[in-house]
């Protein structure tokens, strides 16, 4: 018997207190709403995605955030563009000194230049952030979407696997996984974060798909003979993607911070790699003595997360047919 099947005649209906009014209105609303998203699909005109792109190009929020992200990516690729120093050259005699000419952000505990390290740290942090988020979001939304859409044993299997992964303590997983891989390169760290991150996104995606699937326009499209693939990509995905985008954009920031935690435990990135995470965790114990050590890398992290949250918001709006 399918696990989540609203069309099942034997299905037990769970009555909800006071549901009547909202049920009635929302049903009525979605009925009206139904044919709209399906409409452009029938014509050859513009697809939903090209519509979205059309909107995005004129959205100032999108333009600003995209500009910041392009700038960050440029720095990550060529840090030498805006920093002339060497992030590994440190003079302990200057430990924790404040701002001075040529060194606008001051020095850290080891006497390294905070400005140079913040600029050079972008590469590792942004690579880990973007790749881990992309990986976890892709894996999570595909698996979660399939689980939510097909229900039945798919759902049972995928959700229970996710449960097991949820159970692994990050520290244990990190120590085991990354002590086996000793190269100290970025990719094992990215892989590890994806491995731990996908279950959360998959649960969110599954939840949204389960809701979206019930909508009448989906039922209508199915009745009109739309196949599973078409239903998923054309009708359900655009309506279920918002929570995934929200979680993924915040997750980007927490993943960069997670890299810091792993480095702090001695299992993440290893020197000579420079990253915001390493610097933030080094600074965290010195907050009473040298707050500037925390301010700059954490500020850089904030700006990055801000840019991605804004981008996510804009993309989400553009995908929402109701706004048009």
Partner 1 sequence: MGRYVIRRLLQMVPVFIGSTFLIFFMVYALGDPVAALFGDKAPDPATAARIRRELYLDEPLWKQYGHYMGQILSGDFGTAFNGQKVTELMADAFPVTLRLTLVAILFEIVIGITLGVLSGLRRGRSVDTSVLLLTLIVVSIPTFVSGYVLQYLFGVKWGIVSPSVSPEAPFDELLLPGIVLALTSLAYVTRLSRTSIAENSRADYVRTAVAKGLPRRRVVTRHLLRNSLIPVVTFIGTDVGALMGGAIVTERIFNIHGVGFQLYQGILRQNSPTVVGFVTILVIVFLLANLFVDLLYAVLDPRIRYA
Partner 2 sequence: MRGATRARWAVCALSAVLAAAAAGCGGGGGGGTGVVRSSWGDPQNPLEPANTNEVQGGKVLAMIFRGLKRYDPRSGAAENMLAEKIETSDQQNFTITLKDGWTFSNGEKVTSKSFTDAWNYAALVDNKQKNASFFEYVDGYDKVHPASGAATAKTLSGLVVKDDRTFTVKLKTKFSTWPDTLGYTAYAPLPRAFFDDHAAWLKKPVGNGPYAIDSYAKGSAMKLTKWDGYPGDDKAKNSGVELRVYTDNNTAYTDLQAGNLDLVDDIPSAQLKNVKNDLGDRYINQPAGIIQTLAFPMYDANWSKSGMEKVRRGLSMAINRDQITDQIYQKTRTPATDWTSPALGEKGGYKAGLCGDACTFDAASAKKLIQEGGGLPGGRITLTSNVDTGSHRVWMDAVCNSINNALGNDNACIVNPVGTFADFRNQISEQRLSNPFRSGWQMDYPLIQNFLQPLYYTDASSNYGKFSDPQFDKLVDEANAESSQGAANAKFQDAERILAREMPAIPLWYQNGSAGYSDRVSDVTLNPFSVPVYEQIKVG
One of 13, 84, 93, 227 touching partner 1 (CB under 8 A): 13
- What is the C-alpha separation between 110 and 288, in angstroms, rounded? 16
Q: Is 103 helix (H, G, I), strand (E, B) or coil?
A: strand
Over the window 145 to 184, marking each residue x when it contacts partner 2 by CB under 8 A and - when it does not, the resulting string is: -----------------------------xx--xx-----
- Binding range to partner 1, per CB under 8 A, among 69-77, 97-105, 108-116, 165-173: 165-173
Sign of torsion over alpha carbons 311, 104, 274, 294: negative
One of 8, 50, 99, 228 touching partner 1 (CB under 8 A): 8
One of 168, 286, 306, 317 touching partner 2 (CB under 8 A): 286
- What is the C-alpha separation between 107 and 289, in angstroms, rounded? 12
186, two tokens:
């970025």
- Kindly state whether residue 98 participates in binding partner 2, applying the rule CB under 8 A: no
User: Of the two residues 44 and 288, which places its CB atom closer to partner 2 in the complex?
Assistant: 288
58, two tokens:
């004129």
Quickly list DSSP for 229-270: HHIIIIIIHHHHHHHHHHHHHHHHHHHHHHHHHHHHTTSS--
| Burial (Cβ within 10 Å: 0-12, 13-18, ≥19) of residue 172 | exposed
Bridge partners of 113, per DSSP, are 107
| Burial (Cβ within 10 Å: 0-12, 13-18, ≥19) of residue 183 | exposed
168, two tokens:
């692994």
One of 224, 285, 299, 324 touching partner 2 (CB under 8 A): 285
User: Of the two residues 21 and 183, which places its CB atom closer to partner 2 in the complex?
Assistant: 183
**Partner in contact with 50, chosen from partner 2, partner 1, none, beta carbon below 5 to 8 Å by kind:** none
Over the window 264 to 303, marking each residue x when it contacts partner 1 by CB under 8 A and - when it does not, the resulting string is: ----------------xx--x--xx-----x---xx-xx-
Shortest separation between residue 188's beta carbon and partner 1, angstroms:
15
Q: How many residues does the chain have?
A: 324
Residues within window 225-264 making contact with partner 1, judged by CB under 8 A: 242-243, 245-247, 249-250, 253-254, 257, 260-261
One of 158, 210, 262, 269 touching partner 1 (CB under 8 A): 210
User: Of the two residues 222 and 270, which places its CB atom closer to partner 2 in the complex?
Assistant: 270
- Kindly state whether residue 298 participates in binding partner 2, applying the rule CB under 8 A: no
- Kindly state whether residue 110 participates in binding partner 2, applying the rule CB under 8 A: yes
Q: Which helix (H) or strand (E) holds 186?
A: helix 186-214
Residue 138, number of CB atoms within 10 A of its CB: 14
**Partner in contact with 173, chosen from partner 2, partner 1, none, beta carbon below 5 to 8 Å by kind:** partner 1
**Partner in contact with 172, chosen from partner 2, partner 1, none, beta carbon below 5 to 8 Å by kind:** partner 1
- What is the C-alpha separation between 74 and 119, in angstroms, rounded? 11
Instruction: Write out the residues near partner 2 by the rule CB under 8 A.
Output: 86, 88-93, 95, 109-111, 174-175, 178-179, 265-267, 270-272, 282, 285-286, 288-289
């Amino acid at each position: 018997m399918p696990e989540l099947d609203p069309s099942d005649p034997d299905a037990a209906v769970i009555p909800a207190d006071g549901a009547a009014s909202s049920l009635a209105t929302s049903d009525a609303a979605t009925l009206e709403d139904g044919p709209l998203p399906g409409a452009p699909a029938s014509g050859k005109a513009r697809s939903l995605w090209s519509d979205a792109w059309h909107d995005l190009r004129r959205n100032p929020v999108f333009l600003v955030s995209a500009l910041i992200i392009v700038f960050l990516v440029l720095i990550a690729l060529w840090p030498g563009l805006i920093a002339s120093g060497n992030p590994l050259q440190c003079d302990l005699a200057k430990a924790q000194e404040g701002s001075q000419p040529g060194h606008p952000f001051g020095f850290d505990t080891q006497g390294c230049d905070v400005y140079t390290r913040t600029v050079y740290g972008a590469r590792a942090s942004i690579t880990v952030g973007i790749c881990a988020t992309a990986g976890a979001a892709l894996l999570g939304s595909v698996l979660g979407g399939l689980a939510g859409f097909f229900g039945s044993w798919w759902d049972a299997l995928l959700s229970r696997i996710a449960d097991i992964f949820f159970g692994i303590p990050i520290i244990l997983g990190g120590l085991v996984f990354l002590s086996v891989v000793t190269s100290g390169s970025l990719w094992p760290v990215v892989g590890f974060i994806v491995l731990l991150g996908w279950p959360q996104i998959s649960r969110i995606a599954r939840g949204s798909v389960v809701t979206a699937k019930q909508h009448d326009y989906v039922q209508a499209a199915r009745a009109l003979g739309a196949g599973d693939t078409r239903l998923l990509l054309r009708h359900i995905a655009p309506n279920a993607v918002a929570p995934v985008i929200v979680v993924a954009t915040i997750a980007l920031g927490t993943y960069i911070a997670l890299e810091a935690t792993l480095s702090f435990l001695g299992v993440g990135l290893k020197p000579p790699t420079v990253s915001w995470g390493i610097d933030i965790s080094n600074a965290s114990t010195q907050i009473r003595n040298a707050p500037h050590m925390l301010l700059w890398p954490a500020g850089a992290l904030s700006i990055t997360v801000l840019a991605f949250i804004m981008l996510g918001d804009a993309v989400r709006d553009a995908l929402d047919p109701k706004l048009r």
